[in-house]
Amino acid sequence: MSVTDRVAIVTGGGRGIGRAIAVRLARGGAKVALMDVLEEPMAETVKLCTEAGSPLAKAYKLDVTDEEAIEKTLEAVNEAFGSIDILVNNAGITRDDLLMRMETRAWDLVLAVNLKGTFLMTRTASRYMMRQRRGRIVNIASVSGLAGNAGQANYSASKAGVVGLTKTTARELAARNVTANAVAPGFIRTDMTDVLPPAVKEKALANIPLRRMGEAEDVAEAVAFFASDAAAYITGQVVAVDGGMVM
């Protein structure tokens, strides 16, 4: 599965699943441009990418909701790396609450980062990809967006939106040899899930046929596949990496 010398942008690459994706692509020989709101965690990911064999890894401080900054940052990446071949829209947040108690600002914030951020990044990156007649877009959705999840009205709506956006992106960009697919993680061991109470974790585990939480690396493998030449004839698809939770 080759991504050798391809230029990959990974948003939310400072930690968690984003870091694992960046390191996995680096191991495949990709050049990696990390984007995250905090600089410090990205420095560690850059180091790991270099150790994994990436010919070039750089960090860019970016909030994916900032339209103007996205334009400037991607221009800078294109200049420094020479192209933009792979975009992994991974940055995401949760602000869980029951629907009847959910504050409007929690709704707006989650939709802004998870859905609008994915749209803004895709819109800008796709211009570069269309020009070069080659590109891979991989969006990180969630099983919450496929099956719903109590306490996650905002999050599940944002991730269902990502699935719709992925399919439309796939249809619009196919003629220019740009594919768009989504990976929907289930219950993955990261900072996002570490904060959940033990009872919630136990309940989730009981619904996972493979009987374990996923690792960030499990998600990274699926992303690396979609980003590679091996997935050239696959577009508009959603693959759950969830131990069989949603089938």
Complex with ligand NDP: residue 113 or 137, whichever CB lies closer: 113
DSSP, residue by residue, 129-170? HHHHT-EEEEEE--HHHHH--TTBHHHHHHHHHHHHHHHHHH
The distance of closest approach from Cβ of residue 4 to ligand NDP in the complex, given in angstroms and rounded to an integer, is: 25
Contacts 24+ apart (CB under 8 A), 115-120: 115/158, 115/161, 115/162, 115/165, 116/65, 117/11, 117/64, 117/65, 117/89, 117/91, 118/64, 118/89, 118/162, 118/165, 119/165, 120/64, 120/65, 120/67, 120/70
Tell me if 245 contacts ligand NDP by CB under 6 A.
no
> Are the CB atoms for 154 and 144 separated by under 8 Å?
no
Tell me if 238 contacts ligand NDP by CB under 6 A.
no
Exactly one of 7, 9, 10, 16 binds ligand NDP (CB under 6 A); which one?
16
Exactly one of 6, 7, 10, 12 binds ligand NDP (CB under 6 A); which one?
12
Exactly one of 140, 178, 182, 222 binds ligand NDP (CB under 6 A); which one?
140
Return d(Cα 190, Cα 174) in angstroms, integer: 33
Name which of 55, 45, 51 is nearest 6 in CA terms: 55
In DSSP terms, 7 is beta-bridged to 31
Q: 233 an active-site residue?
A: no
The distance of closest approach from Cβ of residue 17 to ligand NDP in the complex, given in angstroms and rounded to an integer, is: 4
Tell me if 77 contacts ligand NDP by CB under 6 A.
no
Tell me if 65 contacts ligand NDP by CB under 6 A.
yes
Tell me if 136 contacts ligand NDP by CB under 6 A.
no
Complex with ligand NDP: residue 68 or 191, whichever CB lies closer: 191
Interface with ligand NDP (CB under 6 A): 11-12, 14-18, 36-38, 41, 62-65, 90-93, 113, 117, 140, 142, 185, 187-188, 190-193
Could you list the active site residues? 155
